[in-house]
Structure 1
Amino acid sequence: MQIYKTIAETREALAGEALKNKIGFVPTMGALHKGHLSLVERCHSESDLTVVSIYVNPTQFGPQEDLNHYPRNLEKDIDLLRNYHVDIVFTPDDVQMYPEGYCTWVQVEGLSDILCGASRPGHFRGVATIVLKLMHIVNPKLMFMGMKDYQQIIVLEKMIEDLNLETKIVRCPIVREPDGLAMSSRNSYLTPDERQRATCLIKALKNAQKMVNEGHLDSSILISEAENIIKQSDGRIDYIKIVDGSTLQELPEVRSGSRMMLAVYIGNTRLIDNIELLP
């Protein structure tokens, strides 16, 4: 496993590889957990060359968000990756990715200002910009991303389509704790009591899925039931929406491909999750 800190040395190491090998790429912000590692395993199984980036991207955090407190442990992350057949780890700093005078941004309009984008203005501009930059550096054929960040996948797939890029996103299932909580680096913020209460997210989602299977398709009723479950655990709701799985547009009634998506504060920690309600 080779570790590179600069764009130049990463590009040099990958020069010509895309012509003879299928490069797989897993972009991360570090604080790696089993969810990330499942992406790396999938990448290794479907690619000839596995590349992982570790970079906490400042431009996707708002002024009042947790950039300064976001968990970082690069040494531990690299030790974990040594056991997962990773060929290259790219660990740039802010000077590499956003040199002085940087002023170019990628904006996927429409998809970026709803759901999480409504609560976190500029978030998806930062996400789209950094991922496009990383894609140009790594030149992957496949990019592996977890479906917990479902809106992020939709935004990036649209960017790839609109800019005629050749990378394909491989959607990977959400990895969950035994009690159903979606794995997230931010779970480390939760106190023991908050950690227990955080299971209300998956309980609300599973209950909605069960109601749909029983024939209840009215979105307002399903959302109301989900709100009740969240509030019983003292969760503070950012949003609960039922949307089209392709366009993210809100739906008054569940139909094929519908997803329930939610963002909830447990204490001061904002958690997201989603589930397909009807295949």
Structure 2
Amino acid sequence: MSRLLAASVTLPTSTIPIFRTVASLREWRRKAYLEQKSVGFVATMGALHDGHISLLKHSLSRNDLTVLSIFVNPAQFAPTEDLSTYPRTLEADLALLEQTKVPEPSTESERITSAIFMPTVQDMYPSGITQDVSGQKGTFIEVKGYGHQMEGGSRPGFFRGVATVVTKLFNAVEPTDTYFGQKDIQQGLLLRRMCRDLLLSHPEPGHLHIMPTVRSPVDGLALSSRNAYLSPNDRKHASSLYATLNVCKDAWRDLRDKNLAIEKALAYLKERSSAAEADGVLIKPDYIHMNDPDTFDDVQTYEEGKAVILSGAMWVGKTRLIDNIILGNAEGILG
């Protein structure tokens, strides 16, 4: 299969069709409609890793066709953040996608990614885009009351950028099902709410799936494209966040007091920080929060079995990491 490219753009060779414009993708999508085929969708910013591939395999196994997008979204980066240095590994990404296959149900053939959507910034933001929110023009999506807690408290405006670009991607791809990772749990839950509030049919809220975090088999570090920023010394201490969240989880179960649980977790992280300093690595906590998965409000009291999102962020050297654990009953959140 040949690639479909914007005339002025040269991309690495790929056996998977690459769509550079919304118009070309919609032409492909209309054909899928006529053939009554389901379309799964995985949204990425590239720099693919095993976490992305896990989402892709879920889509391939459950849908007739699968689209994966690669778009580094300027609207979700603050002016001080890493838009210009965000990992870009397109050649390796395309090779990985070509290698990723799952068995076709009831046949001897295999499914592979059906199409790659790589829109231009101009196509995604026809009115132009700047990282300075005060200078932005055009239409943007904000999920009021649900974007300032947890991760949004440290990154004001982040979820406005996420909601906007994902709405655009959903409008372009019109997925039957879409797949997001638990590592970005607030993002997935917020987007599910957005689908409900905006009455989206592609996907319907119940067809936005949040899949469990994929972790390093060595130390449990949540896989992330930004892990590429970690130096070898940083990497030795990067699992401190997940370990700290597990300490908090155990303390929450035993003490049933949020403040005491977080206090114990931070004391543990302080010990890990001292060990890191011996390697010349600075660990700095950003937050540890416990929130309701529906309202994102802070959870104060322990209720047996009640779902709680325990999330955290910290700096390891110059790299900011996030992670979370679902406490209690995760039914209705994951899957």
Equivalence for 1:52: 68
Pair 1:236-2:284 in alignment = yes
Pair 1:156-2:191 in alignment = yes
Give 5+ residue unaligned stretches, structure 2: 1-15, 101-111, 129-136, 274-282, 330-335
Q: Work out whether residues 258 and 300 of structure 2, in 8 Å CA contact, stay in contact via their aligned partners in 1.
A: yes
Give me the whole-angstrom Cα distance separating, in 1, the residues matched to 2:182 and 2:90: 24
Pair 1:187-2:187 in alignment = no
Once the two structures are overlaid, the 10-residue window that deviates more, 132-141 or 231-240, is: 231-240
Q: Work out whether residues 209 and 276 of structure 1, in 8 Å CA contact, stay in contact via their aligned partners in 2.
A: no
Q: Aligned letter for 1:263?
A: A
Equivalence for 2:55: 39
Equivalence for 1:6: 21
Give me the whole-angstrom Cα distance separating, in 1, the residues matched to 2:245 and 2:223: 15
Shift of 1:183: 0.3
Equivalence for 2:115: 88
After superposition, residues 63-74 of structure 1 pair within 5 angstroms as 63-74=79-90
Q: Aligned letter for 2:99?
A: N
Give me the whole-angstrom Cα distance separating, in 2, the residues matched to 1:95 and 1:231: 46
After superposition, residues 191-270 of structure 1 pair within 5 angstroms as 191-213=231-253, 215-234=254-273, 235-255=283-303, 256-270=306-320
State the TM-score, normalizing by the size of structure 2: 0.80
After superposition, residues 102-121 of structure 1 pair within 5 angstroms as 103-121=138-156
Give me the whole-angstrom Cα distance separating, in 2, the residues matched to 1:212 and 1:18: 49
Shift of 1:76: 1.2
Q: Work out whether residues 260 and 277 of structure 1, in 8 Å CA contact, stay in contact via their aligned partners in 2.
A: yes
Give me the whole-angstrom Cα distance separating, in 1, the residues matched to 2:161 and 2:53: 24
Give me the whole-angstrom Cα distance separating, in 2, the residues matched to 1:135 and 1:115: 25
Once the two structures are overlaid, the 10-residue window that deviates more, 39-48 or 110-119, is: 110-119
Pair 1:97-2:124 in alignment = yes
Give me the whole-angstrom Cα distance separating, in 2, the residues matched to 1:29 and 1:230: 30
Deviations 1:123-142 (Å, cap 9, x if unpaired)?
11110000000001000011
Give 5+ residue unaligned stretches, structure 1: none
Deviations 1:150-190 (Å, cap 9, x if unpaired)?
01011101110100112121110100002100000011111
State the TM-score, normalizing by the size of structure 1: 0.96
Deviations 1:107-135 (Å, cap 9, x if unpaired)?
00111111211211111111000000000
Give me the whole-angstrom Cα distance separating, in 2, the residues matched to 1:268 and 1:212: 30
Give me the whole-angstrom Cα distance separating, in 2, the residues matched to 1:193 and 1:221: 31
Give me the whole-angstrom Cα distance separating, in 2, the residues matched to 1:236 and 1:98: 36
Q: Aligned letter for 1:117?
A: G
Taking only aligned residues, the RMSD between alpha carbons, in angstroms, comes to 1.3
Q: Work out whether residues 30 and 74 of structure 1, in 8 Å CA contact, stay in contact via their aligned partners in 2.
A: yes
Give me the whole-angstrom Cα distance separating, in 2, the residues matched to 1:18 and 1:148: 32
After superposition, residues 108-187 of structure 1 pair within 5 angstroms as 108-166=143-201, 167=203, 168-178=207-217, 179-187=219-227
Give me the whole-angstrom Cα distance separating, in 2, the residues matched to 1:119 and 1:208: 20
Give me the whole-angstrom Cα distance separating, in 2, the residues matched to 1:100 and 1:276: 39
Once superposed, which parts of structure 1, at least 4 consecutive aligned residues long, lie more than 3 Å away?
none
Q: Aligned letter for 2:241?
A: L
Q: Work out whether residues 254 and 278 of structure 1, in 8 Å CA contact, stay in contact via their aligned partners in 2.
A: no
Fraction of identical pairs, as percent:
42
Q: Aligned letter for 1:174?
A: T
Give me the whole-angstrom Cα distance separating, in 2, the residues matched to 1:254 and 1:52: 40
Q: Work out whether residues 242 and 254 of structure 1, in 8 Å CA contact, stay in contact via their aligned partners in 2.
A: no
Shift of 1:16: 4.1
Q: Aligned letter for 1:47?
A: N
Equivalence for 2:278: none
Structure with more contact order per residue of length (Cα contacts < 8 Å, sep ≥ 6): 1
